[in-house]
Amino acid sequence: MDRSTNSPSTKWREIRGVAGLALVTGALSGCGHFYDSMTAKSPEGDMGNNVLFKFKMLMDRRDPLVVLAESQDGDLRRRAYLQLELDGDAQRKETVAAVLIEGAKTEKDTICRLAAIERLPELKDPRATQALVDAFYAPNNFGDKYPVVRVAAVNSLARTNDQLAHKTLSEALARDPSIEVRIAAAKGLRSVPSAQATQALVRVLREEKDVNLRFHATASLQQITGKDLPPSAPEWEQYLQTRPSSPDGSITREPGNLLRQANWWQR
């Protein structure tokens, strides 16, 4: 019987042993990125190497900034972006901000750009909004067959309370060639109580036929205004024209049914 270390039975025993140890270690340590570690792929691609590589990822406790400075592996870099701590002294905060801003625009691997884009709104920094806009319009993202990065950028822009973000969401809703991106923009605008947002959403009802896009545009208009109207551009236009607006163009949401009842009881 062949008992060499390269035999299939030996390799499978090694795989089972390492995988079992990794699972126990992950459960005991409460590793927040255990799933990322155990689904990562070894650069060599061999089954045994994959398990050992996953175990190595699980045990890797390097500072995420060190990983991003030293490693070119996409799985390791993605995890590092997600693990970056935004707290700390002023110098570290500035370093982390610079890394996220640069990563959102220049990372070669899509999964890494997505991770950086996901974290950028947490900075609460105008530079982060500009970086998201730059990532959204970057040629490599527009040239991608699937608009996953642009959708992620739109979702992150919706999490920022910034005029530039609102403008970009309105532009994406009006002109982006991808229906997925436009739907994401319609959803994102529901948190923007401005005349600019409502005009962009009403334009969808006036000009577009896609049922899903019209549905989300209507839902956003209802969320912004508190008014329950159907997906009809003339009805929304008439309502918005007769409704008073604030000097800054913002829209105040109408009280909901429960609030109306509460006001009635207070009379």
Q: What tokens appear for 64 in the block? A: 């995420």
Q: Per-10-residue mean pLDDT for the chain, 267 residues long?
A: 51 47 42 48 49 60 91 92 91 95 93 96 94 91 82 96 92 94 97 91 97 97 94 96 73 60 35
CA distance 220 to 187: 6
Torsion angle of C-alpha atoms 186, 178, 137, 199, degrees rounded to 10: -30
Q: How is the chain split into domains, by residue range?
A: 161-252
What pLDDT is attached to residue 140? 78
What pLDDT is attached to residue 57? 59
Fold topology of 161-252: Leucine-rich Repeat Variant (1.25.10)
Q: What tokens appear for 90 in the block? A: 């002023």
Residue 252's Cβ-side half-sphere holds a number of Cα atoms within 13 Å equal to 8
CA distance 101 to 236: 39
What pLDDT is attached to residue 82? 95
CA distance 172 to 158: 12
Q: Which residue has the tokens 């991770």?
A: 115
What pLDDT is attached to residue 257? 45
Q: Where are the alpha helices (DSSP H) in the chain?
A: 8-29, 34-39, 47-59, 64-70, 74-83, 90-106, 110-119, 126-137, 139-142, 148-158, 163-175, 179-188, 195-207, 211-225, 233-242, 257-266
The contacts found for 101-104 with CB under 8 angstroms, 24 or more apart, are 101/127, 101/128, 101/131, 103/68, 104/131, 104/132, 104/134, 104/135, 104/153
What pLDDT is attached to residue 51? 57
Prediction pTM value: 0.74
What pLDDT is attached to residue 252? 77
What pLDDT is attached to residue 250? 77
